[in-house]
Chains A and B, each alone.
Chain A
Amino acid sequence: MRLDAKMPGGPLEKKWDKHRFELKLVNPANKRKFNIIVVGTGLAGGSAAATLAELGYNVKNFCIQDSPRRAHSIAAQGGINAAKNYTNEGDSIWRLFYDTVKGGDFRAREANVYRLAQVSNNIIDQCVAQGVPFARDYGGLLANRSFGGAQVSRTFYARGQTGQQLLLGAYSSLSRQIAAGKVEMFPRREMLDLVVINGQARGIVVRNLITGEIENHEAHAVVLCTGGYGNVFFLSTNAMASNVTAAYRAYKRGAFFANPCFTQIHPTCIPVHGDYQSKLTLMSESLRNDGRVWVPKKPGDKRPPHQIPESERDYYLENKYPSFGNLVPRDVASRNAKEQCDMGKGAGETGLAVYLDFEDAIKRDGKDVIEKKYGNLFQMYEKITDQNPYETPMMIFPAVHYTMGGLWVDYNLMSTVDGLFVLGEANFSDHGANRLGASALMQGLADGYFVIPYTIGGYLTGTSLPDVGTDHPAFRDAAGQARSRINKLLSVKGKRTVDDFHRELGLIMWDHCGMGRNDEGLRKAKKMIQELRGEFWENVLVPGSDGDFNQSLERAGRVADFLEFSELMIRDALDRRESCGGHFNEAFQTEENEAMRDDENFCHVAAWEYAGDDKEPEFHKEPLVFENVELTQRSYK
């Protein structure tokens, strides 16, 4: 099967306009005849469900939490990019597009990224209209700050809670549609399978997490907005319930999975501090606006930070990348932190941390200014570590944060299964091999507010969608499989808990498929995962029953999928014989330890097709064509 991205022709700036014109429209009166399932209520899902309902479609919206307001988009701190150029620094749609393509290490589609930059401005307008309280200057106009990978201030923010405010904006629009009866909301539901009939996605099977009941839901199209798979590493900045199950089930039903090895390790997180730890906490990238990253010059220097004189500190980012300094992109910052720690220059007891120091910023601007900008982040840091960052530098270390890989989608955001659309972090489309800060919020909302509303109409009008009911054999089959899987998990009655397996899997992935990768480690990890998976199905202990609120059972299903999916990540990592963005294979680096791409052989999207449980997945290639930007070695020096 040849992957057809359905890329419109013509010049880059005209593609989206032209495409929108060419898409068939659904008559307003006919929209109410179509039912659409949206899974997830984050920035992508919430905005998509609300907008589709506003247009007149009947929407069924599902989420795993007790309320759509709690999707993990809520935890995004720093901000959202837009090419408004309110700061008069020379920003433009083209510059945002260019920065994003370059930031992604030239592994994203030009046309998708350009469209993202185009609609970025509409997003800000829309959110302000919803009552999102963005930060403002004294004159009452919107304020901006700068983020990694850009030399202009284009990031809009609401304190350190931008994701929360944008999500609550989408949630309020969604709530309005629920009240209007256009969206039927199903909270505390977990999607367990996709139902494909005659090659078209026609429904989903979900588990009611309170009653344990397996439910079938039918629709004319399914929109997956189920986020990323960072929790495959067990420790990540993701929420506890974030998982790959929905996407992985779709993959098993025929949707290709693209670039699964592209995972983002965020440079500024609170370091790991114990075996019992359940998650890692991110400190917004915005901190790098004012904080200076350093380590002791001398390896093994264990003096407390204030005893290390200026001359014995190594501000390695500022020294190595004078033009971007502390604001280099995330992958670069993370890799450099690891490099310093590998040299024995790490701070703290574990030696796995670098300092992020605000002393100079506080001297320059005063404590008040810093507190106003980052007060809530400083407070959060102090709560967790019991150290006061106004007085002693923060200790930070990279942690798994975001996954650029995801289900393959075409320009319409439709996967390789007809009628299955994938939005937000769950798809692979816009960030290439590395996502820039403040771009995830932009993409989620772009997909939901301004892309899917048009492209789904084109699919629905141009497609014959015969009536199917939830009594169709395909539904019975999928629900039966979901049930038997649950029963299987409960019947093992082994000796190890689900978290125990998950923790072990996470360690394998972090050690061998994390910030630095090599062939030997990846092969070893693959074998270890297979063994662990074997043990899981023989020795997992899942208490309780299936007809009840059973959190252990929920986790067991997710970990079972991670145990399969992780192998796909490793397969993809082994296959990509280059380093780019978040994928760093130690065999492919420049003399200065930067990622070395191989544009000749690997300037493509790797899309994997499920071929059966015992078979290797099938590889498909979507070549990436760059007509508007020149592929260069990324330089932030």
Chain B
Amino acid sequence: MNWFVNTLGTSIGKKLMMAFTGLCFCGFLVVHLAGNLTLYGGKDFFNGYVAHLHSYGPLINVAELILLTLAIIHVLTGTFLFFGNLSARPKRYAVNKSAGGRTIGSATMPYTGFLMLIFIIFHLFNFHFADHATQTVFDIVSNAFAAGGYVTIYIISMVIVAIHVSHGFWSAFQTLGANHPKYMPLIQGLGTAFSLIVGIGFGFIPIYVFTA
């Protein structure tokens, strides 16, 4: 398996890992969002969905483990790439100006990524590691989003996620080599749409809960 490590250890190999894990997270976001949308169906509908999810038992644990592994790979590789890129230009330019290639998303990837990591930890403590014995998930959500501060944090975080995904989505395809004159515009459009859906889809939930 030496060849495998050698391949993934190169700069492109690392990028391939980022792209692959990133796309997995995009998939996760779709599932997560779909589940969260059941909130709009009311308390019982939502708690029913949660119960259904939990009925998978150990499968959920496996899924969590996979997500955790992907996250570790994504974060560690991203950190390596970030510092590698810094040292590739030890002396910076006095004047910096974009030629028009960069976007807010692309220019801020490591930073939005870092903020997302903090948010995810925060988010897990809020919901995942919260007391599930005395309250339903719906209660946890309604309690949390009753506070204006929480709502603000979540909305800002969702904007950050959208920015991260706006570059990450098409960039993953490019890194995997899927750049075709016929399909690339579609992928880029899809990336923008996806970032908007994720941002708005997740971002409106705290507002909905807060105002409900």
Q: Judge A-B direct contact (beta carbons within 8 Å).
A: no
> Which residues of chain A have a CB within 8 Å of any CB of chain B?
none
